[in-house]
Structure formats: C-alpha cells, structure tokens
Amino acid sequence: MHQNKLLQNPQSLALKHNFKFYAPIAMLFVTCLLSANIVVQKVVPIGNLCTLTPGDFIFPLVYIMDGILTEVYGYAASRRVIWMALFCNIFLFFVIYFAILLPPVPFWHDQQSFVTVLGRTQQIILASFIAFLFGEFINAYVLAKLKVMWSGKVLWARILAALIIGQGLDTFVFSILAFYGALPWHELFSLMLSVFLFKIFYQIVLLPLIYFLIGLLKKHEGIDIYDRKTNFNPFKLGWS
C-alpha cells in the first residue's frame, strides 16, 4: 500500500523533492484571484433571495486552493503562493493605472467607460490586497494548527473552521473597503451577509471534491506535512 512520507515541515523536502502539482495549483490560485477582482464589480440577483457578484463564484476557489496547499504541502508552501498572488495583484493595479493614463486616439470614444469600469477595479484590488492579506494567512494558519492539534483527523471540520474564520474576515474587510460609498449601508450589509453565507455553502458543497483532490495530491506527491516546526511568521518567505 502506498505510504506518504510524514514530515514535520517542508524545509528538507523542498530542497530534494520535485513537486508535480505545486506550480500548477499556484498558477491557478493567482489566476482565480486576479479574475475575481476584475469581475467583482457587477452585482447580480440570485432570484429574490440575495445579491452576489460574479467574483463570488470564483473567489471561494482561492480559499479552497489555499486549504489544499496548506493540507498537502504545509503552511510555508501556502505562504509563498499567497505572497506571489499579492504581488501579482499589486502589479495588476499599476497596469490598470497605466492603461487609464494613456491618452486614447481621437476615434476611440470608450475612454470614459474604460475609466468607469477599470477605475473601480483599482479600488477593488487595493481592498482585495488588504482583506486577502488577513483572510488567507488566517485560513492557512488555522488549518495548519488544527491539523497538528487533531493529528490530521476530521479534515472536514478543520477545513470548515479555517474557511469560516478566514472567509468571514476577508468578506467583512473587502466589502467595506471595496464598496464604501458605492452602495447604501443596508445594501452593503445585505451583500456582505449574502456573500459570506454563499461562500460557506459553496465550500460545503465542494467538500467531497476537496477531499478527493487532497487525497490524490498526497498520494502522487508522496507527502503528508505536519507543521510542528514551522515558523508561522507571515512575512517569512522560506520553506520553514
């Protein structure tokens, strides 16, 4: 029977082990974050129940991938991807700023629409940066700590606990910073609550898929990392 290598932290493994799926997951992680920040401006009704944004269908995938990265590769590996995504987010901010500043040719008449849409994206990217900085690191920290405390058992409870805490903080901070002044307070609160409940429901529905992917990755990577000796400083970019 296939036996995963149990590790206290990924430092020694990172120097010797050729991860097969770490880079593709990291790339998808970054892509989902940037995509969600661009499409999040549109508010759509979900029947008569609530209002959401297109980004709310994409952004939970970022937290799911963060949980998968932390569970399979450890907190330090997840931390590196979080910072990669944050740097890409800031780069996108300056790309949009540069694109807005460039003067259009006389026959192009969509400059104002361009500014209206992408100008709001800048505010959203900054809000996302701050909310993501807190929410993602807390999500990864809680999941890694609970894995050690509960000896790797009850994965579903660890995932949900981390998601509820991380997503709750992220949703609150992001909604306030991104939509302050754009929506009345009662609509903002309604949007915030709807988004939070939807994200949790979304991730509960996807729990079987999360279980499957984590098991598959552990099997093919041949590892199972417990962060007993990991430095949890979010500003440290090493593998320990």
- Which tens digits make up the pLDDT trace of 70-125? 999 999 889 999 999 989 988 988 898 899 899 999 898 888 888 887 877 777 77
Rounded CA-CA distance 181/26 in Å is 34
Highest mean pLDDT pick, 2-6, 98-102, 116-120, 126-130:
98-102
Which CATH number applies to 5-225? 1.10.1760
Rounded CA-CA distance 228/183 in Å is 45
Cross-strand pairs, 7: 225
pLDDT at 156 over 50: yes
Least confident of 15-19, 51-55, 156-160: 15-19
Rounded CA-CA distance 45/194 in Å is 11
Helices (H), 45-154: 55-73, 75-101, 111-149
Q: pTM score > 0.75 for this model?
A: yes
For residue 4, what pLDDT band results from cuts at 50, 70 and 90?
A: low
